[in-house]
A and B are shown apart, each in its own frame.
Chain A
Amino acid sequence: MPEAFDYSIVDEALAKCGAKQSSIIAILQTIQEHYHYLPEEVFPYLAAKLDMSEARIYSVATFYENFSLEKKGKYVIKFCDGTACHVRGSVPILERVRSELGVTAQKKTTDDQLFTIETVSCLGACGLAPVMTVNDEVHPAMTPDKAMEVIYSLKVKEDAR
């Protein structure tokens, strides 16, 4: 028997954003802030609460890039591949990190659930290109070596626990 899903976070999100259909994006964002992804249990629950079809909620969740239906790692690392970062060499950094962590464009999360590697089209921090963010903290002027250093230091920190 799988454990019963605790809907308190979902209820909080509904209370905070307003339980109306037009708030669905904000509601999903609030839920994702907590879980770092959208657990499948929330879809039927929200559908009933908001009186809209599960399919419509699902269509919103899959349309927008920021929503994830899969569990993410503890550290979500985003590489900017905007024009400025691209021109200053973001691709080799991404390739190096992916190959060292054993992830790909499709399989984004490491097996130990520690890191999720994503790309983002522009973070608007072009003066610091190439840029990477770790859980929204910006790391400027990356190189393949510097990026791996950051990742290894996180790994060491985790191993020490």
Chain B
Amino acid sequence: MSAAIKTKAIKSRKDLQNLREAMTKAYTSQTSKIIVCGGTGCVAGGSLKIYENLKAQMENNGLNVEVSLEKEPHDNSIGLKKSGCHGFCEMGPLVRIEPQGWLYTKVKVDDCNEIVEKTIKKGECVDRLAYRIGDEIYRKQEEIPFYKQQTRVVLEHCGRIDADSINEYIAIGGYEAFEKALFDMQPDDIVSEISLSMLRGRGGGGFPTGKKWEQVRRAKGERKYIVCNGDEGDPGAFMDRSIMEGDPHRMLEGMMIAGVAVGAQEGYIYVRAEYPLAVRRLMNAIAQAEELGLLGDDIMGSGFSFRIHIAKGAGAFVCGEGSALTASIEGKRGFPRVKPPRTTEHGLFDSPTVLNNVETFATVSQIISKGAKWYLSIGTPTSPGTKAFALTGNITNTGLIEVPMGTTLRKIIFDIGGGMRGDGEFKAVQIGGPSGACLTKDHLDLPLDFDTLKKIGAMIGSGGLVVMDSHTCMVEVARFFMHFTQNESCGKCVPCREGTKRMLEILERIVEGNGNEGDIELLEELSDTISNTALCGLGKSAPNPVVSTIKNFRDEYEAHVYQKKCPAGQCQKLKKIYIDPLTCKGCSACSRKCPVGAISGKIKEPFSIDLTKCIRCGSCMATCKFNAIKEA
């Protein structure tokens, strides 16, 4: 955490404007900025050590290094910052150099000396740290194909600003929209601006945000609440984590504007406990806003009071569902309830509640600042704006991306994502996590937006895109997701509790080679029943991965059930591993590596595998220097 500068509390609009002016001056007077990525990914790669090392070296060299924005501008100072996630975790730890816009990738502590000597002292680029594709070198971050084709609206600050500094956020125009909403707009104007922008909930459903706010604004009740859903439980999704870590103030600002619009005085952020860094950054951001007087009683003398609390999740996927989430904040088990009444009428503590996800709140301030018209100019007519996606799986550039709604899968996977990783061919992409569906080659040119996907039985979900290649077995993928949902079923309603268990059993026996005739049809029947009768969204959508893989890859299911074969060669139990006696030199390396002692033999004679013991982990194959271990 950067050292907090004691700034006097803001008591009026003028105070905020004065502070902004001072901070903008300080920010622009920094001749250059060194921004070290402090996101979860880069921290794991050692970025904090890089930050400390750069700081020490710059100080030892007598350079005027500034780790936090001072009130008085210092000429020729060099800003050193820890930012949030850049989204290009694969290439981390990342260091960005401004004003040149260079991006250094895979930086190590040993590189710090060269960065200080060359870049900071002489303004030269350390080319060996720049990003390359083949012989092509991309020094500037914006020129890298991964970034070049993105449109960063919600993520624009992620990786650019010090995520622990409210002053820096204010310096680049932060809390301007809140100021506008509080002093220049009537609550009805705010709601209608959001309605006009046609902003739709980024958590998956795509419900119009303006409509939701309108309902809560009109609802009767002494207390109203603003709740931010940061329970990003979909495996393979990390958009919300990156926003909370990289630009926490923007999310707070969105919640505060919502508070003004609907007349709420309290807000809650529900964050997964699996995101410790996001929790820390949010707590710090709230403390800073309280200290400045942007949160609390009678904010800037406006008469509006607002406070934000953090509720940490305790590891239940179902709590991403609205009514389960509010139950959890109330200190109960995360059970969903029957709807209606909706959360907008009976939400948190039985009061009218605005419940939106992180990305939605993070979009609000820009719509208020730049207007609905600007927002409508991005994306498609019915799904305007941008969407952040987490691109993972068998793809070259794993990471976080943001594109206008309506961008095609082809562009995302092949242009931004850099195509497939390894030698596999593109097979499918799972969109929307365990509640979503798979899209195939046939869908590559489909525009990704709420309505188009709904038409083909898929959904955007929160934005996880898991790319799968020809080595991935689709039946195993379906089993994986069913295992996840079954494990996370809260157990309240029978269709989900019992139905997902039975579906998982069937899928398990299919991938183990024990599938029976009629199993595929039984899966379809169960899917239909569960979708129609489960209580909440988690249950209703649980069969989606199974339905869509059967629809698109029925032949793979049939091969497992009837021929007991896995066409992708992934299902361990259907693999037969043997040692080719002609190639084996009898070195015993494999038998020493085998975790279950399934390989035996005499030294210098061919070894053999006991298939009854073998767990098909493949570690012997990776060990053998002579490629003697093969799959049948």
Chain A residues within 8 Å of B, Cβ to Cβ: 21-26, 28-29, 59-60, 63-67, 81-84, 86-87, 92, 95-96, 99-100, 120-129, 131, 136-140, 144
Contacts and interface: CB of A to CB of B under 8 A. Distances in A.
A84 B276 CA distance: 20
29 contacts: A22-B329, A25-B311, A29-B273, A63-B316, A63-B490, A64-B313, A64-B314, A64-B315, A66-B313, A83-B430, A83-B433, A83-B464, A83-B480, A84-B466, A96-B595, A96-B617, A99-B596, A121-B317, A121-B487, A121-B488, A122-B235, A123-B40, A125-B44, A126-B236, A127-B90, A127-B392, A127-B398, A131-B44, A139-B44
Contacts of A120: 274
A interface, over-half SS: helix
A63 B334 contact: yes
Interface in B213-266: 232-238, 241
Given A29-B273, A84-B466, A122 B234 contact: yes
Contact of A92 (B235, B314, B490, B618): B618
Contact of B314 (A25, A86, A126): A25
B399 interface: yes
A83 B89 contact: no
A129 B238 contact: no
A20 B420 CA distance: 52
A122 B331 contact: no
A131 B90 CA distance: 13
A50 to B, nearest CB: 9
B331 A126 contact: no
B211 to A, nearest CB: 29
Interface residue tally of chain B, by bracket? 35 or more
A128 B472 contact: no
B390 interface: yes
A99 B595 contact: yes
Contacts of A24: 331
B422 to A, nearest CB: 10
B631 to A, nearest CB: 15
Interface string B307-331: 0000111111100000000001111
Contact of A66 (B314, B332, B393, B472): B314
A126 to B, nearest CB: 4
A139 B274 CA distance: 15
A129 B316 contact: no
Contacts of A136: 276
Contacts of A124: 40, 232, 237-238, 241, 274-275
Interface string B383-412: 000000010111000110000000000000
B311 A126 contact: no
B453 to A, nearest CB: 18
Contact of B236 (A60, A82, A139): A82
A82 B399 CA distance: 15
A63 B433 CA distance: 22
A21 B331 CA distance: 7
